[in-house]
Structures are given as C-alpha cells and as structure tokens.
C-alpha cells in the first residue's frame, strides 16, 4: 500500500509540474486530465484501505481481499464489470498520458 501511496504522490507532482510549466507543456489539457484521473483512482484505492484499517485482525493483522473491492479491482483479481471499472479509471488515463507526452515530445 505504501508503494501505491508513493505513486499517487508522484502523479500529483507530475500534474503540478504540467500545470505549472506552460512554456514546456503548453496547453496539455489531455495530459492533465489523464494524470488527474490516475491520481484520483489511486486515491480511492488508498482511501478504501485506510477506512478499513480497523477491520484488520489476527497476527499479523489481515483482511480478506474480497473486503477491499477497489484494491481487488486494481490488482487484477476482479472480473466482468470490475475489470471495466479499472480499465476506465486507471488504464485508459495512463494511455492518454503517454499519448499526450509523446505528442508534446514531437513538437
């Protein structure tokens, strides 16, 4: 979970850099939207985990993955509509960010 938190913070930093350096990134609205979408998706995963910390039990403290729906979708053990949710919430924005960055590099 610590790694997800670090990635979410990295996305926030990238987003601020894009927003703060219009000379370098120009009008990078799609890149901003993509980074923001990824950041918000990870924030939901992390928030769900944080809200359920009190439900962990045992030694070491554990909770069934099925109790953490967002995390389950994120790590890939989801099926059907849950995969679509992850795809739309994280993967498509990631591809959008890559496409936007590639377009900016070509300029």
Q: What is the pLDDT of residues 67-102, one digit of tens each?
A: 888 888 788 755 666 667 777 788 888 888 888 777
pTM greater than 0.85 (yes/no): no
How far, in Å, CA of 26 to CA of 38, rounded?
Answer: 21
Question: Taking a C-beta distance cutoff of 8 angstroms, is the pair 67, 89 a contact?
Answer: no
What lies within 8 Å, CB to CB, of 5 at 6+ separation is: 46
- For residues 23-39, average pLDDT: 81
Domain coverage including residue 43: 2-106
């Amino acid at each position: 979970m610590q790694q997800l938190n670090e990635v979410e913070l990295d996305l926030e930093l990238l987003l601020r850099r894009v927003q703060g350096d219009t000379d370098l990134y120009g009008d990078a609205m799609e890149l901003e939207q993509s980074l923001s979408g990824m950041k918000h998706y990870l924030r939901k995963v992390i928030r769900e985990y944080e809200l359920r910390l009190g439900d962990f039990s045992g030694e070491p403290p554990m909770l069934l993955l099925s109790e953490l729906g967002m995390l389950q979708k994120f790590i890939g053990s989801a099926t059907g509509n849950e995969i679509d949710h992850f795809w739309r919430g994280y993967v498509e924005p990631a591809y959008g960010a890559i496409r936007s960055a590639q377009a900016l590099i070509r300029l």
